[in-house]
Structure 1
Amino acid sequence: MPYKEPKIEKLYYTIGEVSKMFDVNTSLIRFWEKEFDIIKPHKNKKGNRLFTPQDIDNFHLIYHLVKEKGMTLKGAEKKLKENRKDTIENFEVIKRLKEIRETLVEIKESM
């Protein structure tokens, strides 16, 4: 069995790393930060934004609602305020299914 590198989870992500994760411009990340109050990045002494894994999860949720489902920003904000628990649960199911698919594809390619 081949050796697998352990996954190392970072504590903070820069705005550039976040924009690459979602394949969007950094200006969109800054815009969503202003529009959605669930995203609260830490700022260092220079003023650079540092996003936590919780912020990344919130970005995934917003990205899913706005880009994948086609909701407006107001609609996504309303949905997050009214049905936050249900929205997060549905998103977690979708996220888990994507992870399972990736694992199955890896298994298929290794055969």
Structure 2
Amino acid sequence: MLEPSHNDELPVIPGKRYFTIGEVSELCAVKPHVLRYWEQEFPNLKPVKRRGNRRYYQREDVILIRQIRSLLYDQGYTIGGARQRMSGEDDELGNGDYQLMIRQMITELEEVLHVLNA
């Protein structure tokens, strides 16, 4: 498996409602088996399951997975540390989730601006 780095440019998340595990895998640069493992480790990550137990992720799930990926791969958190960070337990103000979401939104807006300027 390629080691992700913080310099990797993740693709812009398309404006659709549901994503398959394969699509999320590509959008987040994470293998499908890792996504399934993270579902067990992060209670907030709950894709909709439909026919044949197939997973369908929503936009919020994709953003959450990118946040988890950033904590684990870019910032060096352990699974337990990332879980705490996502729940805000180690953040005195309880706004760790908001900071991560804002960072993700800024990244996405910069990507959109880049596409518009191209």
Please give the TM-score of this superposition, normalised by the length of structure 2. Answer: 0.73
Higher RCO, 1 vs 2 (CA within 8 Å, ≥6 residues apart):
2
- Count of aligned pairs between the two proteins: 102
3-state DSSP of counterpart to 1:46:
helix
Sequence identity, in percent?
28
Q: Distance in 1 between matches of 2:76 and 2:44?
A: 20
What are the residue-to-residue correspondences of 1:25-40 with 2, within 5 Å? 25-40=31-46
Residue 93 of structure 1 aligns with an amino acid whose one-letter code is I
Q: State the shift of 1:28 in Å.
A: 0.5
Ranges in structure 1 where 5+ consecutive residues have no aligned partner: 1-6
What are the residue-to-residue correspondences of 1:38-57 with 2, within 5 Å? 38-57=44-63
Map of 1:92 onto structure 2: 101
What are the residue-to-residue correspondences of 1:9-88 with 2, within 5 Å? 9-81=15-87, 82=89, 83=91, 85-88=94-97
Structure with bigger gyration radius: 1
Q: Distance in 1 between matches of 2:104 and 2:51?
A: 34
Ranges in structure 2 where 5+ consecutive residues have no aligned partner: 1-12
Distance 1:35 1:86, change over 3 A: same
Kindly indicate which of the two structures has a greater share of residues assigned to helix. Answer: 1
Q: Distance in 2 between matches of 1:13 and 1:47?
A: 14
3-state DSSP of counterpart to 2:45:
coil
